[in-house]
Structure 1
Amino acid sequence: MHNFLDIAYFQNKFVPFKEANISIATHALHYGTGAFGGMRGIPNPENPNQILLFRLDRHCNRLSDSAKLLNYDLPADKIQHIIIDFVKKNKPSKSFYIRPFVYTSDLGIAPRLHKIEKDFFIYGLELGDYLPPEGISCRISSWYRQEDRSLPLRGKISGAYITSSLAKTEAVESGFDEAILMNTQGKVCEASGMNIFMVRNGKLITPGFNQDILEGITRDSVLTIAQDMGIETEERAIDKTELLIADEVFLSGTAAKVTPVKQIESYHLSTSRPITEKIKQKLIAITENQEPKYQEWVYTVDC
């Protein structure tokens, strides 16, 4: 059961969540011609009248870029202004997740992006741990991540998530928590909705942008944190067998945060995860605005 926030932004105004409804003929519903974002917010542990949003500017910029791929001009500063108002009106009292969404709102039946109405809405829900924080099991999916030459993978295009959905269900129904997708070159790509990292010989390694991954904001944060902590990092192609013998593996994402991987297929990974834990705890402290060095990553909303 989801606990949705009371107020949504829909058709250029704030309305009760239950009244924010679209037609069954909506173009994006049929063709996947939408793009979404997702960001976390928490009440400030030191001031209950404040909400802390993690990397608000980066999330707004990415959604604006995703909108461009749909032939929709939606400035990042407009998105940010509306999200701030959205938070002020809802005044969440628990950890929550914001889902902004741009989409073709027309009721036509032709698959196209030109000469068609587009719109933007926001809703939110309370959200704790998306995945078990103690660690998860993963299987290698039989489904492959799409290629950027066939889908604009640098945007969170809604239609692209059919592959993620197929992979996630395949994993869960075969006894695992999560799926790891390979790209069409047979290299490790990402999970169903998260980026992936491994540690080998003290080095933090993750697939680069040329591996058809999403340009994750949490991924970027993890790399920056690791480098600031003196951990060597590398972005490159990863083979499946490297994951199976890695010292540590974890997933990163807005919902997943930093989630350790304890098993891949029938291979059990070490329960000693010193680098994963250091990064995880540092990220938690940053999101709670406890790290002055990273204060620019946290936007404070006075409610």
Structure 2
Amino acid sequence: MYNFLAIAYFQNQFLPFAEAKISIATHALHYGTGAFGGLRGILDPQEAKQILLFRLDRHCQRLSDSAKFLHYNLPAEKIEEIIIEFVKRNKPTKSFYIRPFVYTSDLGILPRLHNIEKDFFVYGLELGDYLSPEGVSCRFSSWYRQEDRSLPLRGKISAAYITSSLAKTEAVESGFDEAILMNSQGKVSEASGMNIFIVRNGQIFTPASDQDILEGITRDTILTIAKDLGIKTVERSIDKSELLIADEVFLSGTAAKIVPVTRIESYKLPENRPITEKLTEKLIAITENRESNYRDWVYPISII
């Protein structure tokens, strides 16, 4: 059971979460014509009455870009302004997750993006660990990641997540924690809602943007941190067999942060994960605003 934050932003106003409701005839509900974002907020461990949001500007820009696929002009600056006010009004007391969502809000049955109303809402919920920080087991999904030529994968389009849902449920119901999806070319793409990395011989490899991945913000963060730590990173296509003989495998995402993979199918991966652990420690320090070189990634909000 989720604990939702008390206040939501809906139809151009802040109101109680319980009052933010849409009609069963809402266009996006039927056709998946929506796009969403997601970002974490934590209590500042060093400053009382202050909330820290990680890479707020990047998250707002990505949602603004996703909205363009819906023919909806929603400036990143407006999204950022609303999210900041949303946090101030809710005054969270625990780590939480913010879900902004753009969608076709008209009531109708014709699948289209022209001559149709769009809207934007924001809600939030308390959220601890999305997956076990101790690690997860994975299986290769029988479902394949969509192709960019059939769906705009540079956006977080809600319709795309039917594949993620199918893959996740298939994995859990067959005894695993998470799914790994291949793309139509038979190369590794991503997990059900996370990017994937492997470590071999001290180097980090991750599927490139042309492998039908979502260009994750945490993914970008990890690549930047690794380079700053002097760890070589390579973005390219990755074969299925590479995962099975990797020195380390980990997943990344806003909700998941960094999660090690302990087993893939029947292949147990090494328990020693020095690079994964180093990146995890660095990411935690950055999100808690303890790293001066990355302070522009952290947005503090006073909730006095």
TM-score of the superposed pair, with normalisation by structure 2: 0.99
Shift of 1:236: 0.3
Letter aligned with residue 88 of structure 1? K
Distance 2:285 2:69 in 1: 34
SS in 2 for 1:166: helix
Shift of 1:108: 1.1
Distance 2:111 2:185 in 1: 30
Letter aligned with residue 110 of structure 2? A
User: Which runs of structure 2 are paired with 1:57-68 in the superposition (5 Å)?
Assistant: 57-68=57-68
Distance 1:281 1:107 in 2: 47
Letter aligned with residue 175 of structure 2? G
Superposed CA offset, 1:248-286 (max 9, x none): 000000000000000000000000000000000100000
Does residue 163 (structure 1) correspond to residue 175 (structure 2)? The answer is: no
The equivalent of 1:83 in structure 2 is 83
Shift of 1:216: 0.2
SS in 2 for 1:48: coil
The equivalent of 1:250 in structure 2 is 250
SS in 1 for 2:262: strand
User: Which runs of structure 2 are paired with 1:152-231 in the superposition (5 Å)?
Assistant: 152-231=152-231
Superposition RMSD on alpha carbons, in Å? 0.3
Shift of 1:46: 1.3
Distance 1:265 1:48 in 2: 45
SS in 2 for 1:250: strand
Does residue 149 (structure 1) correspond to residue 144 (structure 2)? The answer is: no
Shift of 1:47: 1.6
Distance 1:161 1:258 in 2: 21
Letter aligned with residue 29 of structure 2? L
The equivalent of 2:15 in structure 1 is 15
The equivalent of 1:279 in structure 2 is 279
Shift of 1:209: 0.3
The equivalent of 1:73 in structure 2 is 73
Shift of 1:143: 0.1
Letter aligned with residue 30 of structure 1? H
Unaligned 5+ segments in structure 1 are none
**May I ask how many residue pairs the two structures share in their alignment?**
303
TM superposition outliers: structure 1 runs of 4+ over 3 Å:
none
Distance 1:175 1:48 in 2: 42
Letter aligned with residue 102 of structure 1? V
SS in 2 for 1:204: strand
Shift of 1:48: 2.3
Unaligned 5+ segments in structure 2 are none
Distance 1:96 1:256 in 2: 13
Distance 1:125 1:65 in 2: 24
The equivalent of 1:93 in structure 2 is 93
User: Which runs of structure 2 are paired with 1:120-131 in the superposition (5 Å)?
Assistant: 120-131=120-131
Distance 1:141 1:11 in 2: 38
Shift of 1:113: 0.3
Superposed CA offset, 1:25-57 (max 9, x none): 000000000000000000101122110000000
